[in-house]
Amino acid sequence: MTLRIGIIHNNEQKSLDVFQRLVPLIEKKAGIKLVERDPELVITIGGDGTLLSAFHRYNHKLSDVLFLGVHTGHLGFYTDWRDYELEELTDSLCRNRGKSVSYPLLDVVVNFSDGRSKHFLALNESTIRKGSRTMVADVYIKEERLERFRGDGLSVSTPTGSTAYNKSVGGAVLHPSISALQLAEIASLNNRVFRTLGSPAIIGNQEWIEVKLRSQGNHMITVDQLDVSGPEISSVKYKIAEERIHFASYRHMHFWHRVKDAFIRED
């Protein structure tokens, strides 16, 4: 049986050009039919953001889908292939099936004050923030109350999301083989009266984080690119998800090479 491949691209001209070049290579050279429904392999063309969108489209069937990213800008964290490597990519699709690498995801349960709740999976992170006023929340790790947080908000990220928003708020870069979550503060209030940990914390895979909101009014929750809507939020619970994301792995990419390429790039 032939591999069922779906392609998702962003609407930038460069991505559209790559799409036009990749389709005949896959269909004619590799003899693989592209499908819209139930793909086994999803190829994204664009950036890490495009891969995030594809993840959210297929996150209900993660055990059946492999992802593969072609980057049309710089090398990404979810995108192994460059736009000038399409022939090599097609050869790999023909030759080499079944190899994959998987990474942890974040399980998010948002509880609303009317008793309802919503469940999400995040590939990068989830944040809780409050608009103009200080967010006040009790932060629990397992049953232990760690602190009463005051500040702009909190971010909880996956290892692969550690290089995204988490890094911008001072979090550490985590190797994706580490099955852990990272809690990072967004502009915490620390003075003689109020005190928080004041540094990012790495939470092990047997632990969970619960944030019980104490401030009144609207809080904003994000899950990757999504804004969560609903009535007033009372608490949010984070743990490592049972599901993982699986990437087709036709060649090894050194994680710290990606980090260097994205953030330092001195040679």
Q: Using CB under 6 A, list all residues that contact ligand NAP.
A: 47-49, 52, 73, 76-77, 124-125, 160-161, 163-165, 168, 224-225
Toward ligand NAP, which CB reaches closer, 168 or 177? 168
Return the H-helix or E-strand segment holding 239: strand 233-248
Shortest approach of ligand NAP to residue 206 CB, angstroms? 24
Residue among 264, 77, 265, 71 at smallest CA distance from 159:
77
Nearest-CB residue for ligand NAP: 49
- Give binding residues for NAD(+) as ranges: 48-49, 124-125, 150, 152, 163-168, 187
Toward ligand NAP, which CB reaches closer, 3 or 80? 80
Shortest approach of ligand NAP to residue 176 CB, angstroms? 10
Angle, helices 13-24/86-95, rounded to nearest 10 degrees: 40
Toward ligand NAP, which CB reaches closer, 48 or 107? 48
DSSP calls for 145-191:
EEEEEEEEEEEEE-TGGGGTHHHHTTPPP--TTS--EEEEEEEE--S
Shortest approach of ligand NAP to residue 19 CB, angstroms? 16
Give CA–CA dist 249/252, Å, rounded: 7
Toward ligand NAP, which CB reaches closer, 30 or 185? 185
Give CA–CA dist 67/58, Å, rounded: 10
- The CA-atom distances, in angstroms, between 229 and each of 52, 66, 221, 265 are 19, 29, 8, 39
Residue among 152, 108, 135, 106 at smallest CA distance from 213:
135
The answer to whether 48 is a known catalytic residue is: yes
- The CA-atom distances, in angstroms, between 99 and each of 53, 67, 149, 249 are 23, 11, 43, 5
The residue annotated as part of the active site, out of 48, 80, 107, 224, is 48
Active site residues: 48
